[in-house]
């Protein structure tokens, strides 16, 4: 029985050691948040948790937590109407709601600046590249705080495509870092 418990402890420490070794700043801030929470210092605990999130954010590549077709223009972060399918008539625009994460922040005086430039590539069902455009959109936000809740609304007009199945890949370039990220959505164009 003791051997099983000792083996479990050793196995647990082997699993935890890499996480702690690579956690660094994020682990330290999260531990501080836990300590402050235990002391009922809620504002300070949330600020320490934010510091842990900031460390993870800075280490992250540019990624998209969510990217999906929506039924109408989103009105803010997390405020959108889901679209049932990725099937569009030629007369319809493809409206995409996306939530980037891991982007950098520039400065404009006292303001933080988020600045993303978008490209797109359209491919056919068999993967053949049909069209692409670089720098077709620029998403910028200036704020007094380094916002982590940022959404991008992308409208595509692909009315010139014949009926068929396609993939649109949207590539984002962060002007405040060397990060690039992308997301791909499949869609069907009908007459």
**Structure confidence at residue 23 (pLDDT):** 60
The reply to whether 91 and 164 lie within a common domain is yes
The reply to whether 80 and 133 lie within a common domain is yes
First-residue to last-residue Cα distance in the chain: 70
Query: Which CATH number fits the domain that encloses residue 88?
Result: 2.60.40.2550
**Structure confidence at residue 57 (pLDDT):** 95
Residue among 110, 118, 98, 134 at smallest CA distance from 174: 118
164 in Cβ contact with 125 (< 8 Å)? yes
Would strands 180-190 and 129-143 be described as parallel, antiparallel, or unpaired? Answer: unpaired
The reply to whether 166 and 96 lie within a common domain is yes
The reply to whether 32 and 69 lie within a common domain is no
Residue where a domain stops, chosen among 41, 59, 77: 59
Structure tokens at 66: 């969510």
Residue where a domain stops, chosen among 59, 76, 104: 59
The reply to whether 127 and 179 lie within a common domain is yes
Cα separation, 14 vs 63, whole angstroms: 29
Looking at the structure of the chain, the number of domains it has is: 2
The reply to whether 55 and 74 lie within a common domain is no
Q: Is the dihedral of CA 44, 48, 51, 56 positive or negative?
A: negative
Residue where a domain stops, chosen among 15, 38, 59: 59
pLDDT in tens, 172-187: 999 999 999 999 999 9
The reply to whether 136 and 46 lie within a common domain is no
The reply to whether 67 and 50 lie within a common domain is no
pLDDT in tens, 15-71: 444 444 446 889 999 999 999 999 999 999 999 999 999 999 999 999 999 999 999
Cα separation, 134 vs 157, whole angstroms: 15
The reply to whether 39 and 98 lie within a common domain is no
Structure tokens at 80: 């959108």
pTM: 0.82
**Beta-carbon count within 10 A of 134 CB:** 11
Cα separation, 61 vs 58, whole angstroms: 8
The reply to whether 121 and 143 lie within a common domain is yes
Residue among 125, 139, 138, 107 at smallest CA distance from 168: 125
Residues sharing a CB contact under 8 Å with residue 7, sequence separation 6 or more, in sequence order: none
Full residue range of the structural domain in which residue 140 is found: 63-190
**For residue 4, what pLDDT band results from cuts at 50, 70 and 90?**
very low
The reply to whether 172 and 95 lie within a common domain is yes
The reply to whether 49 and 72 lie within a common domain is no
């Amino acid at each position: 029985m003791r051997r099983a418990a000792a083996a479990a402890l050793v196995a647990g420490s082997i699993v935890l050691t890499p996480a702690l070794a690579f956690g660094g700043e994020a682990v330290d801030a999260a531990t501080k948040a836990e300590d402050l929470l235990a002391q009922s210092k809620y504002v300070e605990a949330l600020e320490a948790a934010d510091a842990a999130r900031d460390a993870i954010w800075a280490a992250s590549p540019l990624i998209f937590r969510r990217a999906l077709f929506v039924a109408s223009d989103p009105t803010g972060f997390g405020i959108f109407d889901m679209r049932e399918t990725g099937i569009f008539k030629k007369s319809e625009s493809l409206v995409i709601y996306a939530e980037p994460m891991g982007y950098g922040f520039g400065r404009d005086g006292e303001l933080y600046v988020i600045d993303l430039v978008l490209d797109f590539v359209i491919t056919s069902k068999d993967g053949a590249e049909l069209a692409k455009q670089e720098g077709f959109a620029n998403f910028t936000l200036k704020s007094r705080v380094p916002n982590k809740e940022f959404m991008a609304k992308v409208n595509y007009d692909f009315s010139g495509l014949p009926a068929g199945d396609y993939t649109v890949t949207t590539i984002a370039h962060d002007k405040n870092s060397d990060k690039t990220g992308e997301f791909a959505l499949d869609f069907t164009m009908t007459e």
